[in-house]
């Protein structure tokens, strides 16, 4: 059986830190090899897909429509398909 979820948000992470936010139609889930670990102060734009045994660090922003299949380090802004870091946010 194939399960589709065209108009919903799926949050199936190993763990999600404090101050997490995400837009509608976001999918966080497994690829059969593990689920994502999401740090503190993470924001995911509308329609993001975060898939597999990956880690998103603390203080990260992921742009709308991005597909995250590799680790994203802390203090980063990432966008695209596949998502790539486009800016590092300096520690204050």
Q: What is the pLDDT of residues 18-62, one digit of tens each?
A: 999 998 889 999 988 999 999 999 999 999 999 999 999 999 999
Query: What is the maximum span of the chain, computed from C-alpha positions, in angstroms?
Result: 49
Across residues 60-87, what is the average pLDDT? 97
Rounded-to-integer distance, Cα 29 and Cα 49, Å: 8
Across residues 62-85, what is the average pLDDT? 97
Q: Which of 77, 86, 24, 18 is nearest to 49 (CA)?
A: 24
Global confidence as pTM = 0.88
Q: Which of 63, 66, 47 is nearest to 9 (CA)?
A: 47
Please, what are the domains in the chain? 10-83 (2.160.10.10)
């Amino acid at each position: 059986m194939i399960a589709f979820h065209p108009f919903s948000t799926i949050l199936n992470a190993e763990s999600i830190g404090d101050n997490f936010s995400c837009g509608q139609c976001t999918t966080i889930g497994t690829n059969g090899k593990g689920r994502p670990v999401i740090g503190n102060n993470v924001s995911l734009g509308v329609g993001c897909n975060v898939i597999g045994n990956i880690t998103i660090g603390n203080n990260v922003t992921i742009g709308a429509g991005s597909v995250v299949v590799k680790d994203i380090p802390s203090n980063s802004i990432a966008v695209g398909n596949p998502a790539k870091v486009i800016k590092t946010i300096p520690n204050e």
